[in-house]
A and B are shown apart, each in its own frame.
Chain A
Amino acid sequence: MSFQPIKFYQTGTFTVGNRLLAPQERSVQAGEKRYNSLNSGHRACQGCGEALGARYAIDAAMEACHGKLIAANATGCLEVFSTPYPETSWQIPWVHSLFGNAAAVATGMAAALKVKGQHDIRVVAQGGDGGTTDIGFGCLSGMFERNDDVLYICYDNGGYMNTGVQRSSATPPAARTATTMAVGTEPGNAFGQGKFVPAIAMAHEIPYVATATVADLRDLEYKVTKAMSIRGARYIHILVPCPLGWGTASQDTIRMARLAKETGVFPVFEAEHGEVTAVLKIRKRLPVEEYLKPQKRYAHLFGKQPRVDTIAHIQGLADKNIRKYKLLEEGI
């Protein structure tokens, strides 16, 4: 009789370390000598998804370029909690200039390295969704359009959390923020507004665009590593839940990211030169309620009279993602 091929849970895509793998095959985050580019002592909230995503991504990038990495950082939570005088949590060369210019600063860094012939040193720029999709969007687009040798990483927590949870163009529909309150006939953020920057990045036909979440660590590391193997403008958009802004429990950060992906609310995919080349399939499809309910920013959808219509609308958007990106094996 025949037996199924061996795929052990310890060596599946899911757990971080995979003790049964050869060390070089293990996750960067499992390494005893990982870089900890973003070191302990930072002032991020308990259960901060951005702090997690940043260490994941930058450590993976460091691994990919053997520690020869320099970074530009936009203003925002990440910058504020990582470098309040007199302490910094960064163990890599890092510069913060302004809210809206991280991509351009990185362009300058890459140009400087090029003229100095230091091709072994690589440049990353990073920022939150505010610094990326809103105020920094012009510089980002310019960097894409020139195809500068920069990897730009956006940590998307769906709002301006640093300033007290205001709405950004990455804030999802119906979500409550300080500037899209849960009042009126259509509580929360409006439908049909905002933008999905990965798709806009693809429109620039840059060599590599990818989305990821802090729930699928190996996938995230793989994408950062792949991006680092490519020259030119690259963009990775990482969903990083924010316990403060989303109103979720500090221990649920990864769970929320997982739910975002499993419900289809956040499509996880890769694109090269403007074309989608791979997607991370949904493993156990769930209705969007599973994702919305634990979040206080959607509490108004689950009041005495649940807003069935709104929830259905959000489900529709998730279904659209599932269709558009073929997130289910069989499609939909």
Chain B
Amino acid sequence: MFQVRIHGRGGQGVVTAAEMLSIAAFEEGRHAQAFPSFGSERTGAPVVAFCRIADREIRLREPIMEPDGLIIQDPTLLHQVDVFSGLKLDGYVLINTSRSFEELGIGEVAAGRRAQRRPADRKCSLPASELALKHIGRPVPNAALLGGFAALSGLITLDSVIAAIRDKFSGKVADGNIAAASEAYEYVKREMREDVHA
């Protein structure tokens, strides 16, 4: 079972991201369970959403405390919320930013990872908001991040992500998100290749 935790702020489509991720997994014939961190949070407040993916029925209802993957939709949360709490050593981390982990002052997180595993293939930063602005016109990074996470984790295919987006949105909004997700997918793939060759 693969467990993903998504951090963001109210209004950034965090919950939708988790739901789309579950839909993408469902598209691939797998079992998936997405749920928000229930609460009465309003726009701007830190929120968390969860997604479990497995090949058998998922019965577990507890929150995800030891994620296999982490998607951080808003780097400003890094200093407020213990986003990395419980993250597995071999867990994936995708952060919505145009800056590097080091620049963000979380090099050690990346470092910790890099020490054991092949460099870069488990962490990546992605300017998802910019991609969103470019393709959708609004800084809603969730679809782009899903595209990026598909590339980073290989957990789901880009096609599944696109299908999930189509399930949630329609028309131009869907197209914009799909474009953002696709470019993000390519961006991460490129980043990983470069990292390998570095």
A and B touch in the complex (CB under 8 A): no
